[in-house]
Structure 1
Amino acid sequence: MEFQLKRIFPTLEVLETTRSGDAARLAIQCVGKGVDLVIAAGGDGTISQVGGQLVSTPATLGILPCGTGNDLARTLGVGPEIDLALSRLESGVEAVIDVGEWCSDTAEGFFLNVAGSGFDAAVADKINSGIKRLRGTPAYVAAVLSTLRSFRPEPVLIEVDDDKFEATNMLTAIANARCYGGGMKIAPRASVADGLLDIVLVKKVSKVAFLRAFPRVFKGEHLSHPAVTYRQAQKITLTSAGIRPFLIDGELIAARQVTLGIRPQSLKVRV
């Protein structure tokens, strides 16, 4: 792959990550050097870390989907196949997209794809703990089936723009893009250029009911299910009674409260 990239970009410099946080740190270095195009090779987490450092800068994000899900690449039409991604990088065509932003009790950052709380966070934890030996949709399906056996929904206070309510949901997904979980169209109406977050709430249901409805998410046909609530907003805050895992573009943080918003048209991407 490096050979193919150097054919397209003869002056390419390859920087490798060796530990957590390296992707963001290296992206900051690239911005400081005035690099025009920063190509992130990895999964949604790595691409999010790099892209987050390019927000509101002159640099453009390039994507090589090499991860488990590669869902942002799917939404943008630059993957998940490497050959397609290379052709998009070579095309020189760019788009400017929205970026999600988040802050918790102790940290803050950006997300490009999907954030969430509840079952999807528990599934991500399962994948990160070992199911990554599988790739794409099979990894997520295996994690869903494993997680469902022990998952217990907990109540959360939800504030969406000026509306506030408490709910015990299976999951709360906050999407800038359409897919997560290796092609699951959790927010099929989402656009990375509309200045809005798409919010999908799935109420507590029985395990049997959940499994029956689960296949619909792959076609984006779940929004009509009676247990699903869908809406759009510019801001949402989730508050739990205690510290809970929260999903940010495939990676997990621990927080009691998380507020998410949208920063419109703030990142250039090679498409």
Structure 2
Amino acid sequence: MKLLIIYNPQAGHKRAARTLKAIKSAFQAKAVQANFMYTEYAWHGVALVREADLSNYDGVIAAGGDGTLFEVINGYQQNKLKHKPPLGIIPIGTGNAFARDLNLKSYQWEKAIELIVKKRTRKADLARFTTEGQVYYYMNVLGFGFVSDANKTARSFKKLGNMAYSIGVFWQLLRMKTYPLEMELDGQFYKSQNFFVEIANTRYTGATFIIAPEAEIDDGYLDVILLNKASRFKIIRLFPTIFKGEHVHQSEVEVFKAKKISVLAPSSKILTPDGELMGKTPIDIECLHRAVEFFC
């Protein structure tokens, strides 16, 4: 078995760099020929996978967090090979949301390697989105509004690990404002006064938030989670319920399933696909049913 491994040594607050030797040894012990390529800057993973000759490999592995997987999946989609090998995950990042839907928790890298070498796979949906005239892909969740603002704030506290996003949320609660939202969901128009939108392929966002409890990675639909106008006190009470996915039962939260989604307004809201900060509204999103194959 020969694998291309895109490895982010900065993942998990550089914990990934300290784990590298053990991961290499684990592959060697299983007689796997692993070609490690290391990301050195933002979007490097995209270029590494896009330019690789994937016909030489039995699998392409993202070793890092959600951001590493985001880069790998975009490079993978840009690669010109028609019949590509399966993808895999070694979850060694701060957040590994998509890995959770493959029954992998953060830093279960030994279990991840076991799954990869068994060569058992499943197909998963892939989300394609267009922003500012460019096409990108994500596996997990794309959000904007309050969630993007909280994400931006959380980056200042990233050294605190999984607590960083919680701090970002509470900081932004002090400044939060609604905005007029206009969307089209599978041809049906929708309007509201909104705090945030999350468009999810998976159940989790980050390491601990069950943002879309009914989401399935292979059902052909994206789950659209909307938080509409509510008092600050109500939202503070609602926030802890996201850890268990119970927020969807609140009257201020609406949930839809759709294959094609267009966000028409507001404009210029920063997006956060798979934890990254890039692109702006308006956007078009489509679920590509079982478009990619993962070791599981």
Contact (CA 8 Å) 2:132, 2:279: kept in 1 or not? no
Contact (CA 8 Å) 2:198, 2:225: kept in 1 or not? yes
Structure 2's unaligned 5+ residue stretches are 1-22
Aligned to 2:173: 148
Aligned to 1:78: 104
Instruction: Compute the displacement of 1:113 (Å).
Output: 0.5
* Separation of aligned partners in 1, 2:293 and 2:266: 38
TM-score by length of 2: 0.85
Structure 1's unaligned 5+ residue stretches are none
Residues 1:162 and 2:184 aligned together: no
Partner residue of 1:36 out of 58, 75, 78: 58
* Separation of aligned partners in 2, 1:10 and 1:82: 15
* Separation of aligned partners in 2, 1:46 and 1:57: 22
Question: Which letter does structure 2 place at the counterpart of 1:51?
Answer: I
Aligned to 2:27: 5
Contact (CA 8 Å) 2:97, 2:206: kept in 1 or not? yes
Deviations 1:49-88 (A, max 9, x none): 2123335742111101122211111111122232332332
Contact (CA 8 Å) 2:271, 2:280: kept in 1 or not? yes
Aligned to 1:107: 134
Aligned to 2:15: none
* Separation of aligned partners in 1, 2:148 and 2:29: 39
Task: Please show how residues 36-55 of structure 1 align to structure 2 within 5 Å.
Answer: 36-55=58-77
How much is the aligned-residue C-alpha RMSD, in angstroms? 1.7
Aligned to 1:131: 157
* Separation of aligned partners in 2, 1:113 and 1:242: 23
SS at match of 1:252: coil
Instruction: Compute the displacement of 1:32 (Å).
Output: 4.3
Instruction: Compute the displacement of 1:10 (Å).
Output: 3.4
Aligned to 2:19: none
Residues 1:249 and 2:262 aligned together: no
Contact (CA 8 Å) 1:31, 1:59: kept in 2 or not? no
Residues 1:63 and 2:85 aligned together: no
SS at match of 2:191: strand
Aligned residues: 269
* Separation of aligned partners in 1, 2:143 and 2:204: 12
* Separation of aligned partners in 2, 1:173 and 1:57: 31
* Separation of aligned partners in 1, 2:251 and 2:109: 38
* Separation of aligned partners in 2, 1:188 and 1:12: 35
Deviations 1:168-197 (A, max 9, x none): 211111011111022211111001110111
Instruction: Compute the displacement of 1:31 (Å).
Output: 4.5
Question: Which letter does structure 1 place at the counterpart of 2:38?
Answer: E
Question: Which letter does structure 1 place at the counterpart of 2:85?
Answer: A
Residues 1:218 and 2:240 aligned together: no
Aligned to 1:204: 229
Deviations 1:65-124 (A, max 9, x none): 122211111111122232332332233221111101100123211110001111111122
* Change beyond 3 A, Cα 1:31–1:134: farther
Question: Which letter does structure 2 place at the counterpart of 1:64?
Answer: I
TM-score by length of 1: 0.93
Report which stretch shifted further, 189-198 or 103-112. Answer: 103-112
Percent of matched pairs sharing the same residue: 27
* Change beyond 3 A, Cα 1:228–1:20: same
* Separation of aligned partners in 1, 2:196 and 2:252: 11
* Separation of aligned partners in 1, 2:54 and 2:111: 29
Question: Which letter does structure 1 place at the counterpart of 2:115?
Answer: R
Contact (CA 8 Å) 1:61, 1:270: kept in 2 or not? yes
Residues 1:88 and 2:115 aligned together: yes
Residues 1:260 and 2:282 aligned together: no
Aligned to 2:38: 16
* Separation of aligned partners in 1, 2:283 and 2:262: 6
> Which of structures 1 and 2 has the larger relative contact order (alpha carbons within 8 angstroms, sep 6+)?
1
* Change beyond 3 A, Cα 1:259–1:31: farther
Question: Which letter does structure 2 place at the counterpart of 1:115?
Answer: L
